[in-house]
């Protein structure tokens, strides 16, 4: 539990730093492109591809942080009406389900990156495509880790409810 917490914390700091870095880059490159196109009437040929990948990376980093902050989009009906004790049981079920389902997605994402690795397509400047796509399994992996942590926390709260408050 201590280890998971430490990992979660460390990971979140890394993700936040990356988000700030990448979003600043997105904004900077976007501005540069606007200036190039409208003032200098030229374009940066690699900009669109890089911008798209920045959005992909930002999306997964954000999604991983959303798991930590429990901000994923979900049908949030029951939690408004259930008493607290029941909510713990519900959280147990939901987190177990999410953990299992995310493992499937990790498997699918791993499959993509592995086949791209063997096929070996390249992006501009010789960046291998699998490297750019690696955020997909990494992101799903981080999300899965967060659900595992949440599950452990929920279990702990069910075993010792007095700590829950």
Interface with another protein by CB under 8 A: which residues? 16, 19-20, 23-24, 26-27, 30-31, 33-34, 37-38, 48, 51-53, 55-56, 58-67, 69, 71-80, 90, 93-94, 97-98, 101-102, 104-105, 107-109, 111-112, 115, 133, 136, 139
Residue 145 C-beta: closest distance to another protein, Å: 14
> Minimum distance between the CB of residue 121 and another protein, rounded to whole angstroms?
12
Q: How many helices (H) and strands (E) does the chain have?
A: 5, 0
Q: How far is the CB of 162 from another protein (least distance, A)?
A: 25
Select 46 or 48, whichever has its Cβ closest to another protein: 48
Q: Which residue has the tokens 């147990």?
A: 92
Which of 37/85 has CB closer to another protein?
37
Using CA atoms, how far apart are residues 50 and 47, in angstroms rounded to an integer?
5
Pick between residue 1 and residue 74 the one whose CB is nearest to another protein. Answer: 74
138 phi/psi in degrees, rounded to 5: -60, -45
3-class state of residue 92 by DSSP: helix
> Closer CB to another protein, residue 3 or residue 73?
73
Q: Find out whether 130 and 116 touch, Cβ atoms under 8 Å.
A: yes
CB 61 within 8 A of CB 22: yes
CB of 115 to another protein, least distance (A): 6
Q: Which two tokens stand for residue 119?
A: 């096929």
Cα separation of 88 and 154, whole Å?
7
CB of 159 to another protein, least distance (A): 22
Choice between 9 and 72, CB closer to another protein: 72
Q: And the tokens for 138?
A: 């990494």
């Amino acid at each position: 539990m201590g280890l998971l917490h430490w990992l979660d914390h460390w990971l979140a700091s890394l993700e936040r730093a990356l988000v700030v870095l990448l979003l600043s880059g997105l904004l900077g490159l976007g501005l540069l492109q606007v200036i190039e196109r409208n003032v200098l009437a030229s374009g940066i040929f690699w900009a669109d591809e890089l911008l798209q990948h920045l959005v992909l990376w930002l999306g997964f980093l954000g999604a991983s942080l959303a798991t930590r902050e429990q901000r994923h989009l979900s049908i949030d009906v029951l939690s408004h009406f259930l008493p607290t004790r029941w909510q713990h049981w519900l959280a147990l079920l939901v987190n177990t389900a999410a953990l299992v389902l995310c493992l499937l997605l990790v498997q699918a994402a791993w499959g993509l990156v592995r086949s791209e690795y063997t096929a070996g397509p390249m992006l501009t400047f010789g960046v291998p495509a699998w490297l750019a796509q690696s955020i997909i399994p990494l992101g799903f992996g981080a999300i899965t880790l967060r659900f595992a942590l949440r599950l452990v926390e929920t279990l702990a709260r069910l075993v010792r409810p007095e700590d829950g408050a």
